[in-house]
Chain A
Amino acid sequence: MRSFKYQIQDETGLHARPAGKLVKLARELDSAVTLAAGERQADGTGLFAVLGLGVKKGTVVTVTVSGGDEESSLKLLEAFFRENL
């Protein structure tokens, strides 16, 4: 299991469009992806769960991957957050 933290820079936070892209990416990876913000946790493949986190600009999100090729999953997710959020 490996994880990284990321503070959301995007003005609109983790909204429907980036959330949709993130969910699509999480579904393609062979690792299980979990997002945590504050005390809430969400399965990265669930759009409602991710939207339900209520992530806004400035929120610190912890992204955890487990199983499969964790190394490359982590890299892809990190790149995604930096580019889109």
Chain B
Amino acid sequence: MEAYRGKAIAGGIAAGRLFIYRKEKRRAKREAGAGPEKERERFLKAAAQAEQELKALYEKALTSAGEEAAAVFEAHSLMLSDPDFVREVERAVSREGVSAEYAVDEAGKAFASMLAGMDDEYLKERAADVQDVAQRLIRILQGGDEDAKSPEQPVILAAEELSPSETVQMDQRLFLALVTERGTETSHTAILARSMGIPAVSGISPRPEWEGRMAAVDGESGVLYIDPEEGLLSELENRKRERELLARSLEALKDQKTVTGSGRRILLYANVGGIRDVSAALAGGAEGVGLFRSEFLYLEKKSLPSEEELFLSYKAAAEAMGEKRVIIRTLDIGADKQADYFELPEEENPAMGLRGIRLCLKRPELLKTQLRAIFRAGVFGNLSVMYPMIASPSELRRAKALAEEAKEELKKEKIPFAEMEQGIMIETPAAALLSGELAKEADFFSIGTNDLAQYTMAMDRQNGQLEEFFDPHHPALLRLIEETAKNGKRAGILVGICGELAADPSLTEEFIKMGIGELSVAPSQILPLRRRILELP
């Protein structure tokens, strides 16, 4: 048995023989046409025929695959008669004197790349539709018949990519599952699979030698099994049922408070990488955001974001979460992760270089602009600010002085802002050891276990060679966490964990015993962790 892991894009489980679909891609060579008038006429004739074909396909899809799948052909008709598309083809045949085939191919590529370049997953997928329309026109112009290679018995259909024009040619009732190399949840493959209630997996490149082999598709975890062992199918079915049961029972915990058996209240927050993840956090049952990363606001840009841009993002997060708390971490980048406009010099050892709060203190305007934006956005929700990579109390003091300056400025400019808690990440061993002193000046701690582990053990977690040495539960790391929790508790401030360890169920009980009051994890880990905490004594 061989197993290939891809991405699940439509749920379900199926088994059957594989049918490999290979498409012939029609290319048009750059060649002189028979004159602009003639080529224009050829194009219009081909477009009229394509229109007829698309109408017929629409009717066919409507009865065999439903309205959503059929609507695609309507969109194809609109693309075919799109004034910009038609104009572009006509321009190429008359100005460049090329053949209609070549003009269509080029125009198709141009509009496809326009869509592919858009900042929207759904529209990106539509690039394949344009190519599909262009292919149809080229085929008609070259005088070919519709490519018809269709399975004759129920099969798992595997292809590089499936276009609606192709799948509708086949008897779709014969599809048991779809496997493609490309495609996301909004691709035709996924839409078709969901409308038929069959599983689909993408990210797997089909091989010719698989033709006719027995296979099973697990649309829940996104795995294709070739020559599946006996019993696999019933096992997959069982697993699917278990997953559904688990999901349903977890869903019931969504709006519950997180409390241990003995009544200890734990704040269960979400880590988010930007405004996009905030809705996932809410949907996942988060009681707040324990780590709102600011990096995306900088790394996706060509120049430094303005205070207004930052403000709008922070405000959107604050408003989306309402009364729930959002802890915004100020910019945490370094030479290994930067945008060009920062012009940070290359460093021998960026993990220990100019990064996090150090960079922000060296370029105070960078931090002050962020702080102004965060304080202003605080008016619209429940925000806190958190400084990363603190190693000494003096760094925290300097950051807080800048915060005071920012507030003074806002006051003078009569711009409304909110007072809020200012906390720090504990992610250097120095900060953990000095947590007693730091607790006097910070309003809360959040332990970043990923960096704390790497700095404590002096081991790069990304370095695969160190795997046998790397112990995620290293006693030194746990002792630093305990020390931090103890000192935080003594000073009466909240101590949380926002690194990967926060979601480790084997440590949850120990963390709570240490006095950790907040755990911040990926949105999808919230409900399983809530269940774990509810089960604790």
User: Are A and B genuine complex partners?
Assistant: yes
**In the complex, chain A residues whose CB is within 8 Å of the CB of B120:** 13, 54, 56
Name the distance in Å between B195's Cβ and chain A's nearest Cβ.
14
Contact B79 A47 (CB under 8 A): yes
Complex Cα–Cα for A23 and B84 (A): 13
Q: Does A17 contact B (CB under 8 A)?
A: yes
Contact yes or no, B84 A49, CB < 8 A:
yes
Whether B455 is near chain A, meaning CB under 8 Å from some CB there, is no
0 or 1 for each of B361-373: is its CB under 8 Å from A? (1 = yes): 0000000000000
Complex contact A47–B75 (CB within 8 A): yes
Q: Does A5 have its Cβ within 8 Å of any Cβ on chain B?
A: no
The answer to whether A48 touches B82 (Cβ under 8 A) is yes
**Judging by beta carbons under 8 Å apart, are A20 and B82 in contact?**
no
Please state if A24 and B84 are interface contacts (CB–CB under 8 Å). no
Docked pose: A15 CA to B124 CA in angstroms: 11
Is B266 positioned at the interface, with any CB of A under 8 Å from its CB?
no
B84 cross-chain contacts in A, Cβ below 8 A: 43, 46, 48-49
CB distance from A44 to the nearest CB of B (A): 10
From residue B379, how far is it (CB to closest CB) to chain A in Å?
Answer: 20
Other-chain contact of B79, A12, A17, A45, A48 (Cβ < 8 Å): A48
Distance A52 CA – B84 CA, assembled complex (angstroms): 12
Interface residues of B in 114-169 (CB under 8 A from A): 114-115, 118-120, 122-123, 126
Q: Does A51 contact B (CB under 8 A)?
A: yes
Residue A16 is within 8 A (CB to CB) of chain B in the complex: yes
| Residues 1 to 17 of chain A near chain B (Cβ within 8 Å) | 12-13, 15-17
* Interface contact B75-A20, CB-CB below 8 Å: yes
Contact between B115 and A43, CB atoms less than 8 A apart: no
Are A54 and B74 neighbours in the complex by a CB distance under 8 Å?
A: no
The interface size of chain A toward B, counting residues with CB under 8 Å, comes to 18
The closest CB in chain A to the CB of B126 belongs to A16
In the assembly, what is the distance between CA of A80 and CA of B101, in Å?
37
The answer on a CB contact under 8 Å between A16 and B83 is no
Binary contact track A12-41/B, C-beta < 8 Å → 1, others 0:
110111001001100000000000000000
A54 to B115 alpha-carbon distance, docked (Å)? 10
Given A52-B114, A54-B120, A46 contacting B83 (CB threshold 8 A): yes
Which B residue sits closest to A43, measured CB to CB? B83
Tell me the complex Cα distance, A23–B85, Å: 14
A46 surroundings in chain B (CB, below 8 A): 82-84
Select from chain B the residue with minimum beta-carbon distance to A13. B120
The interface size of chain B toward A, counting residues with CB under 8 Å, comes to 18
Assembled-state Cα–Cα distance A15/B118 (Å): 12
- CA–CA, A48 to B83, complex, Å? 9
Which residues from B are CB-within-8-Å of A47?
75, 78-79, 82
Contact of B115 among A20, A23, A45, A51 (CB under 8 A): A51
B470 sits at the interface (CB 8 A): no
| Nearest chain B CB to A41 CB, angstrom units | 13
CB distance from A48 to the nearest CB of B (A): 5
Q: Is B225 an interface residue (CB 8 A)?
A: no
Contact across chains for B78 and A20 when beta carbons are under 8 A apart: yes
The answer on a CB contact under 8 Å between B111 and A48 is yes
Complex Cα spacing A46 to B84, Å: 6
Chain B 305-326 interface 0/1 with A at a Cβ cutoff of 8 Å (1 = within): 0000000000000000000000
* CB of A49, distance to nearest CB on chain B (Å): 6
CA distance A69 to B79 in the complex (A): 27
CA distance A12 to B111 in the complex (A): 21
Contact B74 A12 (CB under 8 A): no
Cα separation A68 to B118 with both chains bound (whole Å) = 34
What is the CA–CA distance of A46 and B111 in the complex, to the nearest angstrom? 12
B123: nearest chain-A partner, CB-CB: A51
CB-nearest residue of chain A relative to B118? A54
CA distance A17 to B69 in the complex (A): 11
* Chain B residues whose CB sits within 8 angstroms of the CB of A45 once the complex forms: 83
The 8 A CB mask of A47-74 against B (1 = contact, 0 = none) is: 1110110101000000000000000000
Question: Which residues of A lie under 8 Å from residue B82 when comparing CB positions?
Answer: 46-49
- Cα A48 to Cα B71 with chains together (Å): 17
Alpha-carbon distance A64/B119, docked complex (angstroms): 26
Query: Is A17 touching B71 in the complex (CB atoms < 8 A)?
Result: yes
**How far, in Å, is A27 (CB) from chain B's closest CB?**
8
Chain B residue at minimal CB-CB distance from A15? B122
What is the CA–CA distance of A17 and B67 in the complex, to the nearest angstrom?
11
Distance A19 CA – B456 CA, assembled complex (angstroms): 55
Contact, CB under 8 Å: A20 / B74 = yes
How far is the CB of B316 from the nearest CB of chain A, in Å?
Answer: 10
Q: Which residues of B lie under 8 Å from residue A15 when comparing CB positions?
A: 122-123
Set of chain B residues within 8 Å of A48, measured between Cβ atoms = 79, 82, 84-85, 111, 114-115
> How distant is A59 from chain B, measured CB to nearest CB, in Å?
12
A34 to chain B, nearest CB (A): 13
Contact with A along B97-119 (1 / 0, CB 8 A): 00000000000000100110011
B residues 37-85 near A (Cβ < 8 Å) are 71, 74-75, 78-79, 82-85
**8 extra interface residue pairs, beta carbon distance < 8 Å, beyond A16-B123, A46-B84:** A13-B120, A15-B122, A16-B122, A16-B126, A17-B71, A20-B75, A48-B114, A52-B114
A sample of 15 inter-chain contacts (CB < 8 A) reads A16-B75, A17-B71, A20-B74, A20-B78, A43-B83, A43-B84, A48-B84, A48-B85, A49-B82, A49-B83, A49-B84, A51-B126, A52-B114, A54-B119, A54-B120
| Shortest 8 CB-CB contacts between residues of A and residues of B | A47-B78, A46-B84, A46-B83, A47-B82, A20-B75, A48-B84, A20-B78, A46-B82
